[in-house]
A = this chain, B = another copy of it.
Amino acid sequence: MTTAPPSPRVLPHPARDEIRLESVLHALSDPVRMRIVSELADAEAALSCSRFDLPVTKSTTTHHFRVLRESGVIQQVYEGTAKMNGLRREDLDALFPGLLNALLTASRRQTARGARA
């Protein structure tokens, strides 16, 4: 099992051309979700949900990941008990060139500028 055959549990994702800018912006307008995306971008590899230390409960975490997936920002795949999350960089870059980078930079800058909140 070098690359384990995916579980039957498959999650619905929007196709590339179904991704809407409004939905992406709405998804990223929540600080918790922006943080998730930020960490995901730094990681460069898929991360399981439990790798994030978020200031909300597990149910809320599930909710946020779903919003990100349904808006097309991330990709989710079951791997055993874990659910691996990856940024949909290619799709986003193809649809909205430069946007993801600008958003990540903006987020990092703001974090650096004022660590309050």
Query: Is B99's CB under 8 angstroms from A103's CB?
Result: yes
Instruction: Please tell me the number of chain A residues within 8 Å of chain B, measured between CB atoms.
Output: 27
A29-37, A45-53, A54-62, A82-90 - interface stretch: A29-37
Query: Is A98's CB under 8 angstroms from B105's CB?
Result: yes
Interface of A: prevailing SS: helix
Chain B residues within an 8 Å CB radius of A99: 102-103, 105-106
Could you tell me which A residues sit within 8 Å of B by CB distance? 17, 20-23, 25-26, 28-31, 34, 95-99, 101-103, 105-107, 109-110, 113-114
Chain B residues within an 8 Å CB radius of A25: 25-26, 28-29, 103
Query: Is A30's CB under 8 angstroms from B22's CB?
Result: yes
